[in-house]
A and B are shown apart, each in its own frame.
Chain A
Amino acid sequence: MIWQALTFQLGYNATLVAIGATLLGIASGVTGSFLFLRKRALVSDAVSHATLPGIALAFIVMVALGGEGRFLPGLMLGAALSSGLGLIVIGWMIRNTRLTEDAAIGAVLSVFFGAGIVLMTVIQSMQSGRQAGLESVLLGSTAGMLRADALVIGAGGALVLLAVLILRRPMLAVGFDPDHAAVTGLNVARTDLAMMGLVMAVTVLGLTTVGLVLIVALLIIPAVTARLWTERAEVMVAFAGVAGGLAAYFGAAFSASAPGLPTGPIIVLASFTLFALSLAIAPTRGGLASLLKQSRFRRRVHRRQGLLALALGQPIHESFTLALLRREGLARADGEPTDTGRAAAAKALLDEARWAALRADPAHGLTATRYDGLTPIETVLTPDQISELDRHLPRPQKVI
């Protein structure tokens, strides 16, 4: 069943839903990256929770007008209006009170969500509310999703991606250095507003798929996952799109195979699985990679210290250092150097002397900043420069 869902064999409708969800996931991961780089991840939580009263009110109004209460575009409009109001209130609180952003976010999030839950209860007691199934906007459910809904979500996701393409440069500039961006003539407030608008769009589009409680996960987790893999903002944004798309696709497919499950939590778990995997294996910032890097660095330090001790005829006290040198055949068990060890030690000492000369010479100013006590000097200077340097060494290094 799951395999069929993953390979689009559950029928036209389920396939459409999966494609729509995937587009939403891509848009969400991409948009969330900019939010993450601007360090405003939490705002998205307030944005999403603030949609609830708007959704409930929209439902009530549509029913009162004699229409279908679950009409998705209508619910989306209500959601957008009330989360927009929430954003305005947050902005106002930060500007006009001494509250910090996190406090304002907390206040708005809880008050709006509380108001929304009260309104939902009112709906439950209404005649047409009994079969409303409006709770699905909380945690998402693709089970009852209509074809038209899937189309709206897919098209909306594509529009968000287009907007990101146009706004990527200002959003990155503001994320790195807002003051500099402002001096070059960029309107920082308007850029932030546009970014929040995109977040709002993703939230509203994701109501039926992920649900408003957990959409923050689809905005932020892909960005955090991508950050583990790359040191370039553009690459990170693209990667987050892929991660978000994958998570949403898996979530929608699983949910199609087991209609009882809420979609949102499954998407979040899929997203988290990608994150956990990345944390373990990502080559630049992953946990495994940094452990390896640390232990490699530790070995380099010990090796160098050991060689210098050999060169100066000092005893090696640390067993780790000695073991390291013995494994490389540089020292014997009694701590005496082997022939190759003697040569390597002399080389290390010469390296130190050359570095010392280099650092004393102001002409090598910038190169000197690359001294870390480990880097062989051949990697930063040409042979000519080294022989020039050697002429300034106190005297030929014939220690051993």
Chain B
Amino acid sequence: MMGPDAVSRQRIELASSARQRQSAAAPPPALAVSGLTVAYGEKPAVFSVDMTVAQGTMTAIVGPNGAGKSTLLKAVLGLVKPLSGEVRLFDLPLSRVRDRLAYVPQRASVDWDFPARVIDVVLMGLHRELGLLRRVRPEHLDRARACLARVGMEDFATRQIGQLSGGQQQRVFLARALAQSADLYLLDEPFAGVDAATEKAIIAVLKDLQAEGRTIVAVHHDLSTVRAYFDHLFLINTRPIAAGPVAEAFTSANLQRAYGGRLGEAQVAGMQADGVQGQDTIR
């Protein structure tokens, strides 16, 4: 007799075999960079970088000022032309995965005196979908508002963007990226110059995205929060220094190599102590 138990057992078996099949053909990395070199004039900003980011991870790109962090991100997004090397996203070239990408540039990279309201900026995340002539419909507005709600800015929808604080601007940028409902989010210093409440709100959204199975790569400048916020680390100083899970790669030896003499031994030790403490306090 085939009771409910048997049926559910069968289902479980089906599910597990499906999982096996999937693991046999592991999902392609969200991002695979090989031999990437980018130069401004004759000065390489990023030299011969290999980098792999697995799907569903949250990676911090860390390094000193001028180490090529932003340039690496821009090369991945096709915003600067590399001298050599290849970038593949989900095992495809950039041109075929644009729908699955969202980019949050540095806040200071745009002129906030531009005549636009908060909702107009978020709607720009839907431009690809809207094309040239399609009208903005109520459902688009609803989606834009939902994205604003996710970053706690629903009350600011009709506010002029020039009136926002730095933290609010950053939230709007994140909302615009959310509107693109991407699989890979690339952020350039999302926590630079924002208030503590905004930092907390942004990291909560990013962790939610990760829980939904999306991949996050962020240029990050605050060594004291690396452990608490990210699970993977990519250390760079023009050349790649170290990469891997934060627990393995975030060591004082690696940081010394990336930052050279700019980071004292005691500083690194203190940072790591802070980091461990931070890990305990987060959840």
Contact = CB atoms under 8 A, between A and B. Distances in A.
Given A166-B133, A173-B124, A368-B197, A180 B115 contact: no
A381 interface: no
A295 interface: no
B71 interface: no
Nearest to B171: A366
B98 A231 contact: no
Given A180-B103, A182-B78, A183-B101, A169 B130 contact: yes
Contacts of B78: 182-183
A43 to B, nearest CB: 17
A175 B116 CA distance: 11
Contact of B103 (A167, A179, A186, A227): A179
A176 B132 contact: no
Contacts of B128: 184-185
Interface residues of A, number: 30
A231 B103 contact: no
Most chain B beta-carbon neighbours within 10 Å: one of A177, A183, A227? A183
A232 B105 contact: no
Nearest to A237: B115
A210 B98 CA distance: 44
Contacts of B153: 366
Contact of A166 (B95, B114, B132, B168): B132
A236 interface: yes
Contacts of B127: 169-170, 173, 181, 184, 186
B79 A179 contact: yes
B101 A369 contact: no
A338 interface: no
Contacts of B101: 183
B175 to A, nearest CB: 13
A37 interface: yes
B267 interface: no
Nearest to A232: B115
Given A179-B109, A368-B197, A369-B195, A170 B132 contact: yes
Contacts of A177: 105, 109-110, 124
Interface residues on B, range: 35 or more
A392 B114 CA distance: 42
B253 to A, nearest CB: 35
A366 B194 CA distance: 12
A362 interface: yes
Given A232-B117, A233-B120, A365-B201, A183 B132 contact: no
Contacts of A37: 114-115
A366 B152 contact: yes
B34 to A, nearest CB: 21
Nearest to B106: A179
Contacts, number: 90
A366 B197 contact: yes
A183 B195 contact: no
Interface string B126-151: 01101011000000000000000000
A139 B162 CA distance: 39
B165 A369 contact: yes
A231 B117 contact: yes
B200 interface: yes
B152 A227 contact: no
Interface string A202-240: 000000000000000000000000010011110110000
Nearest to B112: A176
Contacts of B110: 176-177
Most chain B beta-carbon neighbours within 10 Å: one of A37, A232, A235, A366? A366
Interface string A230-266: 1111011000000000000000000000000000000
A39 B111 CA distance: 10
A316 to B, nearest CB: 32
B201 A176 contact: no
A184 B98 contact: yes
A176 B124 contact: yes
24 contacts: A37-B114, A166-B132, A169-B127, A169-B130, A170-B132, A176-B111, A176-B116, A179-B74, A180-B103, A180-B105, A180-B124, A182-B79, A186-B127, A231-B160, A232-B116, A235-B115, A236-B115, A365-B196, A365-B198, A366-B152, A366-B197, A366-B198, A368-B197, A369-B165
Interface of B: 74, 77-79, 95, 98, 101-103, 105, 109-111, 114-117, 120-121, 124, 127-128, 130, 132-133, 152-153, 160, 162, 165, 167-168, 176, 180, 195-198, 200-201
Interface of A: 37, 39, 166-167, 169-170, 173, 175-177, 179-186, 227, 230-233, 235-236, 362, 365-366, 368-369
Rank and list the top 7 A-B pairs by shortest CB-CB distance, nearest first.
A365-B197, A183-B103, A185-B98, A231-B160, A184-B128, A177-B110, A233-B115
Given A181-B127, A183-B78, A183-B102, 8 more contacts: A183-B77, A183-B79, A184-B98, A233-B114, A233-B120, A365-B196, A365-B197, A369-B167
